[in-house]
Amino acid sequence: MRIVRSLVAGMLIVSIARGILQAASPLRAEFQAMAVSPRTAAPASATVKLHWQGSGLLEGVLELTVTERGEPLLRQRSQELTLGPGTQVIALMVPPFETEMGRRDVSVELKFISKQQSVALGVFPWSVGAPAVVRQFLIANCGAPRRNDADLVRLWQAIRLEGSRTTEESIGRSVRTLPATLEVEELPSTPLGFCAFDLVLLEGDSFRRLREKQLVGLSRWVEGGGSLYVVPNGPLPEGHLQFLNQLAAVHERAPFSLDPQDRLVSALGERVMLRPELGRCVIDLFPPDELKHLDFPAWRETVDFLWRRSAGSGQGRDTGVRAEIIRRFSDQLLPKEARLIPIPVLAGMLGAFLLLIGPGEWMGLGAIRRRRWTWLTFPISTALLTVATFAAAERYLGTADHRTAVTIVDVGKGGRVLREHRLEMIFAAREREGISEMRHSLVVPTAPSWKSDAAEITYEGQVPARSVMRQKVRQWVPQLNRHFSFEATVPVADIRWDAVTAEELLSAPGDPGVLFRQKTGLSDRYQVTVVGGGRGDPKVPSRFSALPGFLSEICVVPELRLGTRLVGFSPSGSGSLEDLALVDPSDRREIVLIVVEDTAPGLRIYRRKYRARD
DSSP characters over 534-546? T--S-----S-TT
From residue 562, give the alpha-carbon distance in Å to each of 132, 433, 567, 587.
12, 38, 12, 20
pLDDT at 20: 44
- Beta strand 135-142 pairing with 199-202: parallel
Please tell me the least confidently modeled range out of 55-59, 370-374, 606-610.
370-374
In the chain, % helix, strand, coil (3-state, to 5) comes to 30, 30, 40
What pTM was estimated for this model as a whole? 0.86
Query: How much is the pLDDT for 30?
Result: 96
Beta bridge partners of 409: 420, 606
At 167 the pLDDT is 47
**Residue 166's pLDDT band (cuts 50, 70, 90):** very low
Domain extent listing, the chain: 25-127, 135-307, 319-333+403-611, 343-397
Q: What's the mean pLDDT in 449-460?
A: 65
When pLDDT is averaged across residues 419-448 and rounded to a whole number, the result is 88
Least confident of 60-74, 272-286, 435-449, 535-549: 535-549
User: Burial letters for 266-304: b for 16+ Cβ neighbours within 10 Å, e otherwise?
Assistant: beeeebbbbbbbbbbbbbbbeebeebeebeeeebbebbb
Q: Can you give the pLDDT at residue 182?
A: 94
- DSSP H or E segment with residue 47: strand 44-52
Mean pLDDT across 22-45: 85
For residues 131 and 141, the answer to whether their CB atoms sit within 8 Å is: no
How far is residue 183's CA from residue 601's CA, in Å, rounded to a whole number?
48
Average pLDDT over residues 376-391: 84
Find out whether 490 and 421 touch, Cβ atoms under 8 Å: no
More confident residue, 332 or 62: 62
Identity at 108, one-letter amino acid code? V
CA distance 261 to 334: 63
Contact between 539 and 529 under an 8 Å Cβ cutoff? The reply is yes
For residues 207 and 152, the model is more confident at 207
How many contiguous H segments (helices) and E segments (strands) does the chain have? 13, 26
How many of the other CB atoms lie within 10 Å of CB of 587?
Answer: 18
Query: What pLDDT digit, counting tens, does each position of 174-190 carry?
Result: 788 999 999 999 999 99
Cα end-to-end span (Å), the chain: 84
What is the pLDDT confidence band of residue 133, given thresholds at 50, 70 and 90? low
Contact indicator for 132, 191 with CB cutoff of 8 Å: no
Pick the CATH number of 135-307 from 3.40.630, 2.60.120, 3.30.499, 3.40.50: 3.40.50
Average pLDDT value for residue range 112-119: 91
| pLDDT of the residue at 584 | 83
The pLDDT confidence band at residue 148, using thresholds 50, 70 and 90, is low
Q: What is the mean pLDDT of residues 402-411?
A: 92
Give 217-242 as a 3 state SS string. HHHHHHHCCCEEEECCCCCCCHHHHH
- List all residues 6 or more positions away from 547 whose beta carbon is below 8 Å from its beta carbon: 329, 540, 596, 603
The number of angstroms, rounded, from the C-alpha of 546 to the middle of its chain's C-alpha atoms is 23
Contact 110, 125 (CB under 8 A): no
Given this model, what pLDDT does residue 17 score? 46
Q: Which CATH class is domain 25-127?
A: mainly beta
DSSP state of 43: -
Please tell me the distance from the alpha carbon of residue 487 to that of residue 354, in angstroms, as a whole number: 60
Beta bridge partners of 520: none
The average confidence (pLDDT) of the chain is 84
Is pLDDT larger for residue 297 or for residue 26?
26
Looking at residue 314, what is its pLDDT? 45
Percent of the chain with pLDDT over 70: 84
With contact defined as beta carbons under 8 Å apart, do 135 and 562 qualify?
yes
* Average pLDDT score over residue span 240-267: 91
Q: How many CB atoms lie within 10 A of CB 350?
A: 12
DSSP 438-464: EESSEEEE--TTTPPPGGGEEEEEETT
Instruction: Give whichever of 86-100, 135-149, 177-191, 399-413 has the largest mean pLDDT.
Output: 177-191
| Bridge partner residues of 407 (DSSP) | 422, 604
What is the rounded radius of gyration, in angstroms, for the C-alpha atoms of the chain? Answer: 29
395 pLDDT tier (thresholds 50, 70, 90): confident
36-45, 211-220, 267-276, 432-441 — most confident range: 211-220
pLDDT at 442 over 60: yes
pLDDT surpassing 60 at residue 484: yes
How confident is the model over 95-117, as a mean pLDDT? 81
Task: Choose between 21 and 62: higher pLDDT.
Answer: 62
Q: What pLDDT is recorded for position 11? A: 55
Residues present in the chain in total = 614
Contact 555, 531 (CB under 8 A): yes
pLDDT of residue 83: 94
Residue 118 near residue 133 (C-beta atoms within 8 A):
no
Give per-residue pLDDT as tens, 197-227. 999 999 989 999 999 999 999 999 999 999 9
CB 184 within 8 A of CB 209: yes
- Return the SS3 of 468: strand
- Rounded to whole angstroms, the Cα distance separating 536 from 515 reads 18
- Rounded CA separation 590/605 (Å): 19
Is 321 or 395 the better-scoring residue by pLDDT?
A: 395
Residue 443: pLDDT band with limits 50, 70, 90: very high
Residue 115 has pLDDT above 70, yes or no: yes
Q: Which amino acid is at 63?
A: E
Range from 214-218, 270-274, 287-291, 424-428 carrying the lowest mean pLDDT: 287-291
Distance CA 248, CA 245 (A): 5
Q: In the prediction, which pLDDT does 163 show?
A: 67
For 299-352, what is the HEC assignment? Answer: HHHHHHHHHCECCCCCCCCEHHHHHHHHHHHHHCCCCCCCCCCCHHHHHHHHHH
pLDDT confidence bin for 380, thresholds 50/70/90: confident
- Does pLDDT of 24 surpass 60? no
